[in-house]
Structure 1
Amino acid sequence: MKILVTGSTTGIGFLTARKLIENGNDVYLHARNKEKAIYLKNKLPQAKNVLIGDLGKRSEVIRLSKEINKLGQLNTIIHNAGVYSSNNELIFKVNVLAPYIMSSLIRIPKKIIFTSSNMHLGASLVIDQIEKDTDYSSSKLQVLLLAKSIARLHKNTIVTTVDPGWVPTRMGGSQATDSLIQGYSTQVYLATLNNNAASGKYFYHLKETNYDVRVDNIDLQNKFLEKMYKITKLKI
């Protein structure tokens, strides 16, 4: 299968990509800049290619989306890239805006996997202020809201969302208590799963799990999509 993993330089993204390559898939990687792309290609030489784009910069997200479309029809996109920061505007740009723009511009694949977190539960969501008031927890709620919206609008695409857990990566830190293997196993499993019944579901360690039910509200989904269109002038 032809699969793209964003944010695959380190951590969950890297481990997911490596396992998918080991399983015989054609995997395309993503790095923020040329230096990281060279490092990544050396670490995973079996990858088909490494695409470059800073997801915090809209112009680069658009260029990256065009490069992805040149690859032809993908089987799966795994939106793994994300940042944890005190800079709310950066969090919104990387964690929410980038996957929204990519979802608007990229030829819809057969499967889309988004990465959320259990920190989304009960997170603040003031749609009119999301450009400046999106902290990490709120960004992960918005990611799930985006996934639910795409699953509703594109019935022929299997759209799933994963909570990898608190794992010992650069972002999670050395004190994290969840299994690193379990952290990426769900993405690997879902990347090649052909089961339409899974679309719209939220997974943790290979099983469906509870999520914030606000994301099932179609009126809220539409308000979110309208706000994103107002920001980007792009539609899903």
Structure 2
Amino acid sequence: MKTEHQRTAFITGANKGIGKEIARQLAQRGFAVFIGSRDIAKGREAAEELCHAGYEATFIQIDVTNPVSIRTACGTLSQKADHLDVLINNAGVLEDHGADILDLNAEMLDRTLKANVTGPILVIQDFLEHLQKSHIGGRIINVSSGAGSLTNMQTYAPAYSISKTALNAVTKQFAAALKSQAIAVNCVDPGWVRTDMGGPNASRPVEKGAETIVWLATDAPQSETGKFWHDKQETVW
């Protein structure tokens, strides 16, 4: 049965960490959430957890590094919902913590760009047809990082940092291309969050990491587009 009229959101990498918390907060606000995950077992578990809590959640397998997987996920969504209101590109990889640009591994850089840049581009392109059916104006949120800020960039995790700078550029491109369709496109620096990626010493809980993303998905003015956000404030590119 298709989800009709209810607000809907699709989140990639939603089986754990910030993505899972975004799904939980949106479900609490009445969204039917679609849990995108490459890992089938963990994705199903995350969706079932929300369902047991009384929310509407559906697992959709997606590997953002695989164009066929993205198309298939898009087709699955079309069978389960008549529209999409919010698309959140949250899936990403960080392989080079502690690495140095002077001896950066090219294959690892390619993997990072494929997951963090090419993947979100393909996801937006394929899922756009569903966002165009939103009755309230579609919203696209790309989960970036302060590491991608050119203003503040140092030597940290070069492949990851470069990929997030590129994702910010992707955000600007789509925001300009979709402005006439009233689809808002923004990116977010969630801060240093205690997740598998951020590690146990990170300064922020997942609730705080998800906060601005959820705000952009719900309460932020639809006219806000093409911007880089941190704690509900515009931040430097």
TM-score range, shorter-chain basis?
Answer: 0.7 to 0.9
Show the 5 A alignment for 1:39-188: 39-45=45-51, 46-70=55-79, 71-86=81-96, 87-106=108-127, 107=129, 109=131, 110-122=138-150, 135-155=159-179, 156-188=182-214
In structure 1, distance between residues paired with 2:28 and 2:84: 18
Q: 1:158, 1:195 within 8 Å by CA — same for their partners in 2?
A: no
Q: CA deviation at 1:62?
A: 2.4
Unaligned stretches of 5+ residues in structure 1: 124-133, 212-236
In structure 2, distance between residues paired with 1:108 and 1:163: 26
Amino acid of the residue matched to residue 73 of structure 1? H
In structure 2, distance between residues paired with 1:181 and 1:96: 25
In structure 1, distance between residues paired with 2:47 and 2:116: 24
In structure 1, distance between residues paired with 2:110 and 2:218: 34
In structure 1, distance between residues paired with 2:93 and 2:167: 13
Q: CA deviation at 1:61?
A: 1.9
Structure 1 match to 2:9? 3
Q: 2:82, 2:130 within 8 Å by CA — same for their partners in 1?
A: no
Unaligned stretches of 5+ residues in structure 2: 1-6, 97-107, 132-137, 152-157
Using a 3 Å threshold, how does the CA distance of structure 1 residues 147 and 175 change in structure 2: closer, same or farther?
A: same
Q: 2:31, 2:56 within 8 Å by CA — same for their partners in 1?
A: no
Show the 5 A alignment for 1:219-234: none
Q: CA deviation at 1:207?
A: 1.4
Amino acid of the residue matched to residue 219 of structure 2? L
Partner deviation per Cα, 1:114-147 (whole Å, 9 max, x = no partner): 1111111239xxxxxxxxxx81111111111111
In structure 2, distance between residues paired with 1:151 and 1:39: 34
Runs of 4 or more off by more than 4 Å in structure 1? none
In structure 1, distance between residues paired with 2:149 and 2:186: 17
Structure 1 match to 2:34? 28
Structure 1 match to 2:228? 202
The CA RMSD measured in Å over matched residues stands at: 1.8
Q: CA deviation at 1:179?
A: 4.4
In structure 2, distance between residues paired with 1:62 and 1:92: 19
In structure 2, distance between residues paired with 1:79 and 1:205: 18
Q: TM-score, normalised by structure 2?
A: 0.79
Amino acid of the residue matched to residue 68 of structure 2? S
In structure 2, distance between residues paired with 1:81 and 1:210: 23
Q: 1:66, 1:105 within 8 Å by CA — same for their partners in 2?
A: no
Amino acid of the residue matched to residue 85 of structure 1? E
